[in-house]
Each structure stands twice: as structure tokens, then as C-alpha cells.
Structure 1
């Protein structure tokens, strides 16, 4: 079963960063992978967690 998708606010809350940072990562081609659903960006929680785990310590 698929968990609910996250929006930018959910990703920011999970990572403990401002939502503006999530938008900056996306506009610069970085950050966790997200997909457009209409005019909204949605993230799979598992992919956000995998992205976080793949980051070297002190980079985020």
C-alpha cells in the first residue's frame, strides 16, 4: 500500500528546514525527487528518506 504523498510543507517539516529551502532545492535541480501533480509538487516519503540518507553528513 502506498503512503500518502507529501507536499513541500511536509518535506520541510520532516527535514527541519524552511519550506523556501525545499523550493530552492527544486528550482536548482537538487533536493529530494518530486513530481508535479497538476500545479502541485508531491513527494514520496520513502524517496525523501532515501535522499536524506544518501547525503554526506553536514551537507544539508
Structure 2
């Protein structure tokens, strides 16, 4: 309690966006999940990581990768 007898609440809002599975990313990009698998094999596409046996994508990394595609298209 504070001096005046009231309680002050401090609220911290945190936005947490989890990692994306290949299926979620495929839906986001509007492409088949198989295409992502092919891209990983060829070394193309957004960066990805393996957690145990699961492939995951960082949404921020995906958005940065998309931005590079947009910038290279504008330069062409």
C-alpha cells in the first residue's frame, strides 16, 4: 500500500510470439510445407533451427528474409 492507503499495480505487457513450425510458416507464406523442406535442403529460404527433432522458424527472421526479397525485387 502507498501513503494514501491505495494499492498501485504495475503491469508489464510482454508480447511473446513463439517459434513457427513448417506448417505454420507454409500457411503464412501460402506455399506447401514440402517447398520449405526443399528450400532447407537447397540452403534457400529463411533461417531455421532444429530443436530436438523439430524444425522451427523465428518469425522475426522470416520477416527479415521477406524484406530482403522485397528489396532485391525493387533493385531489379
Sort the TM-score into its range (normalised by shorter chain). Answer: 0.7 to 0.9
Greater relative contact order structure (CA < 8 Å, 6+ sep): 1
Cα drift, residue 49 of structure 1: 1.0
CA offsets 1:9-59 (integer angstroms, 9 cap, x no match) = 1111111111100110001111100000001111110111111111144xx
Match of 2:51 among 2, 21, 37: 37
Q: How large is the RMSD of aligned CA atoms in angstroms?
A: 1.2
Aligned residue for 1:22? 36
Of the two, which has the highest radius of gyration?
2
Cα drift, residue 2 of structure 1: 4.2
TM-score normalised according to structure 1 size: 0.85
Match of 1:53 among 36, 42, 67: 67
